[in-house]
Structure 1
Amino acid sequence: MIKSNYESSIASLMQQVENHKQRLNALRNEDRSASNIQLQPKDPIDYPEIAAKALQAVSNTQMESKTIKEAYERGEDIPLTEVVLSMQKSSLAFESTLQVRNKVLKAYDDIMNMPV
C-alpha cells in the first residue's frame, strides 16, 4: 500500500516534469521564431519636424492669447475669464517648452560628460 502511494506520487511528479519540459520547449520554439522576425518601422520618425510643430503650436497659443488680451483691452465683448484662461494656457505651454528644452540640454551635457 505504501509502495503504491509512492509509485503514484513519483508517477505524478514525473508527469509534471514532462509537462514542464514540453511547455519549456514550446516557449523556446516561440522565442526562436520571434527572434527571426525583423521589425521595421513603417515611417521613419522625423524629430526635427515634430519639434517644429510643437514650437509652432506654442507660438500659436501665445499669439491667440495676445489677440484675446488686446481685444479685451480695446473694450470688445470678451469675458475676463476667457482672457485669463487663454493667458494661463499660453503661460503653461511656454513653461512646458522651457522644461523640455532644459531636460534636453541636461541630457546632452550628461552624454558629453560621459567617460569614454
Structure 2
Amino acid sequence: MSGISGIGGRASGIQDIMALRQQIMERSQLLQQVKTPDATQGTTATGGAGSSFTDTLKGALENVNATQQKSSAITEAYEKGEVVDVAKVMLARQEAGVAFEATLQVRNKLLNAYQDIMRMGV
C-alpha cells in the first residue's frame, strides 16, 4: 500500500515541477513584455516545440544571469551618483531577486525529483 502512494507522490512531484516550470516561463514572458513592450514575441527563451529541456533550462539561466547583471549595473550607476531613477533601481533589484528565487525553487524541485528517481527500485 505504501508503495502505491509513493508512486503517486512521485508523479505528483513531476507534475508540480512542470507546473512550476510553466509559471516561471509565463512570468518571464510577462517581465519581457513589461521591459520591452514593443519587442517581438519570437525572441523569448521559451523555445519551440523542438527545443530540449536542457536548452530551455540553459536559456532560463542565461536570462536570470542577464537580469542580475542589469540589476548590478543599474545599482552601481546609482551608487556612483549618476542620474538614475530610484524606482528603476528598486525594480531591477526586485526583478533579479524574484528571478533568482524562482531558479532556486526549480533547482530544489529538480533535485527532489532526481532523489526520488534514485530511490526507486529497479
- TM > 0.5 fold call: yes
Q: What is the TM-score normalised by the length of structure 2?
A: 0.58
Take 2:50 and 2:80, find their aligned partners in 1: how far apart are those partners?
48
4+ runs deviating over 6 angstroms: none
Tell me the equivalent position of 1:49: 55
AA aligned opposite 1:55 = L
Q: Per-residue displacement from partner, 1:75-97 (whole Å, max 9, x unpaired)?
A: 11111111111000000000100
Tell me the equivalent position of 2:39: none
2:73 is the counterpart of 1:67: yes
Which of the residues 65, 88, 91 maps onto 1:85? 91
Would you say how many aligned residue pairs link Structure 1 and Structure 2?
75
Gaps of 5+ in 2: 1-47
Cα deviation, residue 43, structure 1 = 5.4
Take 1:59 and 1:107, find their aligned partners in 2: how far apart are those partners?
24
Question: RMSD across aligned C-alpha pairs, in angstroms?
Answer: 1.5
Take 1:98 and 1:56, find their aligned partners in 2: how far apart are those partners?
14
Q: Which has the higher contact order (CA 8 A, sep 6+)?
A: 2
The sequence identity of aligned pairs, in percent, is 45
Cα deviation, residue 115, structure 1 = 2.4
What aligned pairs does 1:1-116 form with structure 2 within 5 A after superposition? 44-116=50-122
